[in-house]
Structure 1
Amino acid sequence: MNSPLAAYACDPAHTRGRRHRQSPAPTRNEYQRDRDRIVHSSAFRRLVYKTQVFVNHEGDLFRTRLTHSLEVAQLARSIARSLRLNEDLVEAISLAHDLGHTPFGHAGQDALNGCMQDFGGFEHNLQSLRVVDWLEERYPDWNGLNLTFETREGILKHCSRRNAELLESREPHGVAWRFLHGGQPSLEAQLCNLADEIAYNAHDIDDGVRSGLVTLAQLREVPLFDRYRASAQADHPHLAEPGDERRLLHEAIRRMLSDQVYDVIDSTSLALAHAQPRSVQDVRTLAPLVGFSGAMRAQSTQLKQFLMRSLYRHPQVMQTMDAAQQIVRELFDAYMGEPRELPAAQAQQAQAGELPQRARAVADFIAGMTDRFAAREHERLTGLRLMA
């Protein structure tokens, strides 16, 4: 049985509510409803064919945006339970946090942002909010999923000042207020942000080794990982045998994840004991409270630097990402030049207004694409096959 929520946790009975009023559900609280709406959304299903690091067709066992989101949700729920935070809310935020990501991961995002520089740019966090607020079409009387304030606040992890001002003008004292006036989101939102980092560091090690682009020998230069590799090998000497490298890798990652989870729980508990917030509103006025210890933060940063150097900028990954960026740029140019190439609803929207409105309609359509659809659509429009 779950422990009662802490006083500083988000309580669905005291949510700041939805943009459109709805009657309560008889069997689910408000954050459970948010989670269910996210899981049943079209954008969530598309995550299964969106790149995390490796493009979807490169292998069946690599992570996708969907499996990443599930791993974030698992980690966040585990930590939330120990801290007596709201597990349903952290699950909803975790499952929705990447809904606005483009095809081809960060390479696609960077390319689309470049295309949109004259039209307000492109931010995947803002796009995730745009998906749940406007782009999903599931209800008869409004656009979007009509999620609670707390879930929407957690989805919007980052936001430029320009976009925050625009959001604030449409929704005074809403989800963008903190980016203009200071303050923090809920502890649940802070936790999801850190669980995202923990998850991708761990699974990118796994995928990097599976791909052959990173080796266990290389990982020995990363203190955070090598400590757990050494302890796993000491406890199970047979894992040093060549045929057991995968087991050694999995055991080291498992131990690393566990220690990071316990570190977050211990460090955050100390921060909470020192700050003594008595409400969610107290949390919003304090410095960030969810975090690693200083030592774990430093080692996690070293791991991220290693992955950037050895995996994300590996020539093989960069070659694929160069092709991905070309696909996104040329799709954007093709649709801007001839909006009738878009599906009927998007074409009508693109042709209905000025150039900025057309660009945003095109960006929305491209951002919603899966990797394989983007590659096929690019081939249809250009005659070029850039990805097998």
Structure 2
Amino acid sequence: MYYREFEDDSMGKKILVIDDEESTRELLKLSLEADGYEVRVAEDGYRGLKIFEEFKPEIVLTDIKMPGLDGIEVLQRLKETGEDVEVIVITGHGEMNLAIKALQLEASDFINKPISDMALSVALKRAREKIWMRRKLNEYMRNLEEKLKDAVEEINKRHDFEHKLIETSIDGIIANDRKGNILIFNEGASRIYGYTKEEAIHQLHVTKLYPEGEAKRIKKKIYSDEYGGPGRLVNYETTAVTKDNRLVPILLSATLIYEDGTEVATVGYFKDLSEIKKLQQELVQRERMAAIGEAMSEVAHGVKNILYGMKLGAYMVDKGMNSGNLEKAQKGWSLVKKNIDRISRLSLDMLSYAKKDTKERKNVCLNDVIEEICELVKQRMEKEGITLIKNLQ
């Protein structure tokens, strides 16, 4: 079956013959050398083991019954060396039990004396087939180990690449299991929230990253089709709560992770909108100022009319006072006050329009706000005879 594949190469061509009968040794040596084998011979087991160490044959033919070290002991010692060697034992008449024992000790085969060329040829063929198969198996295992090593390296490279991709992302990336425990927390998330990776992973619950109730609302929206779902959330604007309790506007995209059809995790991608919101506010402010500039001519015209009215009122006051006409002076003063009110309102409107909104949003306790309001109105309510009842939770 395999013989044709290796009959022309040198595999299994080195043979050691161990036999205490000189005639058997010489006969086997001549026959094997005629078939192209390289042969060494030994007259006993001890000599055979010594030659084996030097010659390193691939096949050993040993008589099973010899004085000193017999064939069974030789077989055992050869197997203990761990060398790639096949042992064929030579048995005499009535030594079948020893032959069976040799096979149990992993002898390749056994042949009976007197040795026939056919029996020897078949035994050698089987031994060489075993050597060939074992080497092919070893080669296959080496190739398999190399492929496995390459596959592991590729997996490690891919893992390292994906890890670096997550860690170096400008945006925050956070993954949590179904219970809300954080599994992934990259550097981008640390920049937004202020937590270190060690403080977040398996330590922080995902609900702590949002205002109260927002995490539940986000989960509902992931299951709905409102923002690209179900199972996905695309470009949803919300608010993050940082480690120091600041509110940060963020743009969130998220997706559910499944294994074998079962939901196992949620991964979210967070973009800090603080700078964008700041730029938007600055743009609105610039647009306001541009609008003010465009309206200056109209404002100037309005101020001119107000000043004209004030001058007219002042003139009427002067005339009334000089002539003793109190009614005329009062009408003039009313006109002056009216125009003062007009210019005051105009100034306040202009200031309000031009003024930048500096309000800051932050988390507060609603009960504290109510307490402050109650304290402000307490005295007035007592004067009016009103009883204030508080039921705060």
Q: Which has the higher contact order (CA 8 A, sep 6+)?
A: 1
TM-score by length of 1: 0.17
Q: Which has the higher strand share?
A: 2
**The structure with more radius of gyration:** 2
Q: TM-score, normalised by structure 2?
A: 0.17
